[in-house]
Structure 1
Amino acid sequence: MRRPNARRTESAERNLAFALSEIDRVATANGLPRSVRDSAGLVYRSAVERNLVKGRPIDVLAAASVYCSCRISGIPRTLDEIAENANIGRRELGRTYRHLSKELGLGLSPARPQDYIGRYCDALKLGTEVRERALSLIRKASENDLLSGLGPAGVTAAAVYISAIICGEHRSQKQVAEAADISEVTLRSRYRELADGLGIRIEFS
């Protein structure tokens, strides 16, 4: 008969193997580099060592570790994207991410809209002028307290959409929404709020 310690060790090893496979799966689905996967593995192992995993689903912990790693590495991915590709709820992912970040002392600040500008502009093949204009809009919106409580993906998409029109590099609402992985309804709500709040008068299509 195996001793209890041996059984616990085997169980811990199985859980770790499953967590690492989940990290690899979620990272692959989100197109993330090997460095992010390795970093996420370290986050998960640290959580195990600090006894932060008890009572929490392994797949959620793995996805939260990936999101932590993205934030640490400065690679823009939203909670919605990670949650969707991990097949888990956004709220549960957010709670677990905040738990790990706090208890591991990662010192991660909230995601900022400007972190996503380059990624969305690359996806839409937009030039430097659009990027700079979008960054300026987001800064002005922040100064005017227009961003409180709004998700960074929607705000960034709205700023990019407006900036592309102003700079003569128009992209459709569908194209911008797909690049930001949000609905066209969300995009319309955000760009109207942004335009109204900043007094921008342009024709939206």
Structure 2
Amino acid sequence: MSDTYCTDCKRNTEVVFDHAAGDTVCSECGLVLESRSIDESSEWRTFADESGDHDPNRVGGPVNPFLADAALSTVISRSANGSNADSSLARLQNRGGDPDRAIVLAFKTISSMADRLSLVTTIKDRASELYKRLEDQKCTRGRNLEALVAGCIYIACRQEGKPRTVKEICSMVAGGATKKEIGRAKEFIVKQLKVEMGESMEMGTIHAGDYLRRFCSNLGMSNEEVKAVQETVQKSGDYDIRRSPISIAAAIIFMITQLSDSKKPLRDISIATTVAEGTIKNSYRDLYPHAAKIIPEWYAKERDVKNLSIPKA
């Protein structure tokens, strides 16, 4: 599932892809936003019927604008008696390496991480483009592949307006790249590509509201609570709260849930937002003096807001 603007709901909503019909359907109202989509993934077929091998083989490769024919290769099958149909050709095949093997592996890693993070295709393609530019500059050799890929995905998310925290991306790195390594890789990528790409390399400013929908969804909050959180975050921008946008978002979610019937434990909010419990408490204390002004009146009465407790250190 991913977020797309629905012309019926008049807002960004989650959509579901019906691969059988080729339709993109709004999960809120059921409107078909796009029909007859083309599936550009690889198809499965088998040509080994005579040998009794029923495992399918991929025919061709998925459409990739960053690869010409690098992903295409010919695999020599075995004959019915178990020997190679042509051993000399097989030896030549084994001897010939794929010059683009590293970049194909990087693209596969980007695709795998993007799928685990539920990222849309535009972000995946943007990350692949960034890595291809690094590869063209021949500056990837000797560097941590997973960290570079994670850095490309982080930058692509920022540029496409769907930011992810470094902790979220770090948790999806199969190779175990640390948060510090991803941070260094991100700075390296920006430095290397800034001269070539100019203003298009800018990542923009992160706002607390950029994370709200995903965080609230992870916590299973109601529509009323989500609306209250969004309005509170918007009003908090009028005050000088010197905390990171992610910390402010987490603290406001905690504040709003304490005013609802389904109070969320601080630990659950910490896990859902990837913000440490101590950081949420400190941000909460900075927001608390302004609570009566930033929390919408329709959601909580002034008396209820005054009864909010400050979490212990």
Number of the residue aligned with 2:183 = 94
Secondary structure of 1:74's aligned partner: coil
| Structure 1 residues without counterparts, runs of 5 or longer | 1-9
For 1:185, the equivalent position in structure 2 comes to 278
Distance 1:177 1:101 in 2: 29
Question: What's 2:161 paired with?
Answer: 74
CA displacement at 1:45 relative to structure 2: 0.6
**Alpha carbons 2:159, 2:204 under 8 Å: kept:** no
Q: Is the CA contact 1:52–1:100 (under 8 Å) kept in the aligned structure 2?
A: no
**2: distance between equivalents of 1:71 and 1:25?**
19
Paired residue secondary structure (1:143) = coil
In 1, the alpha carbon distance for the partners of 2:240 and 2:142 equals 39
Percentage identity across paired residues of the two chains: 22
Gaps of 5+ in 2: 1-96, 293-305
* Residue of structure 2 aligned with 1:32, choices 119, 125, 128: 119
The RMSD of aligned alpha carbons is 2.8
2-side partners of 1:12 and 1:145: how far apart? 53
What do residues 5-36 of structure 1 show as CA deviations (whole Å, max 9, x unaligned)? xxxxx575122122123213322332334443
Structure-2 separation of matches of 1:51 and 1:159: 45
2:202 maps to which of 82, 89, 107: 107
2 CA distance for matches of 1:170 and 1:66? 34
Where 2:151 maps in the other structure, the secondary structure is helix
Q: Could you tell me how far 1:116 is from its partner in structure 2?
A: 0.6
Tell me the equivalent position of 2:172: 85
Letter in 2 for 1:31: S
Question: Quick check: which one's strand share is greater?
Answer: 2
Contact persistence 2:251–2:283 (CA under 8 A): yes
Give the letter for the 2:233 counterpart.
I
Cα distance per residue 1:65-89 (max 9 Å; x no partner):
1112222333241111112321212
Structure 2 equivalent of residue 161 of structure 1: 254
Specify the alignment match of 2:212 in structure 1. Answer: 117
Q: Deviations over 1:79-104 (max 9, x none)?
A: 11112321212223123223434524
Q: CA deviation at 1:189?
A: 2.7
Higher gyration radius (CA)? 2
Count of equivalent residues: 194
Shift of 1:39: 2.7
Aligned partners of 2:274, 2:249: CA distance in 1, in Å?
11
The separation in 1 between residues aligned to 2:238 and 2:98, in whole angstroms, is 52
What's the TM-score, normalizing by structure 2? 0.53
The equivalent position to 1:47 in structure 2, one of 134, 152, 167, is: 134
CA 1:140/1:98 → structure 2, altered by over 3 Å: closer, same or farther? Answer: farther
TM-aligned CA deviation for residue 51 of structure 1: 4.1
Matched to 1:186, the amino acid is T
Name the structure 1 match of 2:59: none
Say whether residues 1:176 and 2:269 are aligned partners. Answer: yes
Indicate which of 137, 141, 155 corresponds to 2:232.
137
Residue 18 of structure 1 corresponds to 105
The match for 1:5 is none
**Pair 139,98 (structure 1): closer, same or farther in 2 beyond 3 Å:** farther
Cα 1:107–1:76, aligned 2, differ >3 Å: closer, same or farther?
Answer: closer
In structure 2, the partner of 1:203 is: 309
Q: Provide the rounded CA distance (Å) in 2 between the counterparts of 1:177 and 1:125.
A: 14
For residues 113 and 128 of structure 1, do their structure 2 counterparts lie closer, same or farther at Cα, with a shift above 3 Å needed? same
